Amino acid sequence: MSSRSNQFIIVIDDDPVMRLSCLKILKKEGYEVETFEDGLQGLARIQQRKPDLLVVDLKMPKIGGMEVIAKVHEIDPMICIIVITGYATIGTAVEAMKTGAYDFLPKPFTPDELRIIVERGMERTLLARKSIELKKEKENLERRFVTFVSHQLQSPLSVVQQYLEVLRHLKESPNKEELQQEWIDRSISRISELKEIVKDWLAISRIDSGNLSECVEPVLVPPLFENILEGYEPSIIEKNIDTGLDLPKNVSPVAGQKECLKMLFENLINNAIKYNKQNGKLAIKAVEEEKNVIFIIEDSGIGIPHDKLESIFDEFCRVKNDRTKDIPGTGLGLAICSKIVKEFGGTITVKTKLNIGSSFKVTLPKYKG
């Protein structure tokens, strides 16, 4: 919940004593408060800066409270409105609530009564805004999912369908068994790509849910590196890549989640191997600072074109050229890395030179305990 110093209240009342009382009571609670003696002044200010909450008297000269409420709703229906009124106009206050006011407070009222009703109104405003944010997130997720299905799943599924069509028409082929095995292998390869895409998409969706930072734990990263390199040993041997680990003893644990940080460094190391040269090099370093631990993954690979650096951490971004066209990938790996690092309060940057290699620098905060 926001601090009260960031919550802005406007009070409109023609009674100077009432304005001063509301100002003192609400400022003492930490709110930012401005007061106005009539509706025209108040509306002019609301046009300039929308308040989180409006306290308005119903009976005022020039323009009455009901008209103020109507105009405020035209400006922004999200502004929470509390009506203050004399006992003689409680019926009108009820009408005001029907037209959009959140609640009413009969005069005279105590400081506690004003504090309580304003606090409830602010809670209502914050919940309403959160609801709108969640709705927008849901709509955004739905749009992204449609994009994901149409662009990332449709193409490989179509290819698998074509492979199966070929298999169906191999009945009379003299080398039928050999061709069947070839097309089956191709189909399996494409299905494996689909599984990787879905796995990465689910990882991104989980990160975007925003719940990871609520379950922070101390994570020792060096054992993760050793485990990851062991898993990629066949690929490292196949390319004859020289790997080097430069990790200080007793590196401090970082704040994160073991599973997520393993995914982060797996993606970076996987890329460093995939895009590396035959007989290349892979170096992993750790540097400890006062509040952070820096991890650097360097390779001697093909590098990243400079015109792609701004978008390299975007979803579905892949560098496509003659040297990368046959290298498998989902285009989600670096997006996952970026999201994980940000979720745990860190940063990720890259330096690269074409045909020389790339260096990814990950900075993560130490676990405070």
pTM of the full structure: 0.56
pLDDT of the chain, 369 residues: tens digit per residue: 446 778 999 999 999 999 999 999 999 999 999 999 999 999 999 999 999 999 999 888 888 888 999 999 999 999 999 998 876 566 777 788 777 889 888 888 999 999 999 999 999 998 988 888 888 877 776 776 676 666 667 767 777 888 888 887 777 677 777 888 888 888 888 788 788 777 777 777 777 766 666 678 999 999 999 999 999 999 999 999 999 999 988 899 999 999 889 999 999 999 999 999 999 999 999 999 999 999 999 999 999 988 888 888 887 777 766 666 667 766 788 988 999 999 999 999 999 999 899 999 999 999 986
Determine, yes or no, domain membership for 98: yes
Query: Are 300 and 244 contained in the same domain?
Result: yes
Residues 340 and 239 in one domain: yes
Selection from 24, 32, 27 nearest residue 7 by Cα: 32
End-to-end CA distance of the chain: 23
- Cα separation, 284 vs 289, in Å, equals 17
* Same domain flag for 296 and 336: yes
Residues 188 and 285 in one domain: no
Same domain, 102 and 176: no
Q: With respect to residue 176, please indicate whether it lies within any of the assigned structural domains.
A: yes
How is residue 150 written in tokens? 């149409």
On whether both 156 and 185 belong to a single domain, the answer is yes
Sign of the C-alpha dihedral computed for residues 162, 167, 171 and 177 taken in this order: positive
Residue 122 domain-assigned (yes or no): no
- Structure tokens of 41? 């002044």
CA distance 335 to 314: 5
Domain boundary, last residue among 180, 209, 238: 209
Q: Which residues of 119-143 are buried (b: 16+ CB within 10 A; e: fewer)?
A: eebbeebeeeeeeeeeeeeeeeeee
The structural domain count of the chain equals 3
CATH label of the domain that carries residue 183:
1.10.287
78 and 48 within one domain: yes
Q: Of 365, 339, 341, 344, nearest to 215 (Cα)?
A: 344
Domain boundary among 186, 209, 232: 209
Residue 75 lies in a domain: yes
How many CA atoms lie within 13 Å of 75's alpha carbon, on the beta-carbon side? 21
Structure tokens at 328: 């498998």
227 and 315 share one domain: yes
The residue range of the domain holding 273 is 217-365
Domain identity same for 201 and 232: no
Residue 290's domain is classified under what CATH number?
3.30.565.10
Give the pLDDT confidence score for residue 164 in this predicted structure. 83
> 116 lies in a domain?
no
Instruction: Note whether 286 and 339 are same-domain residues.
Output: yes
Polymer length of the chain = 369
- CATH number of domain containing 40: 3.40.50.2300
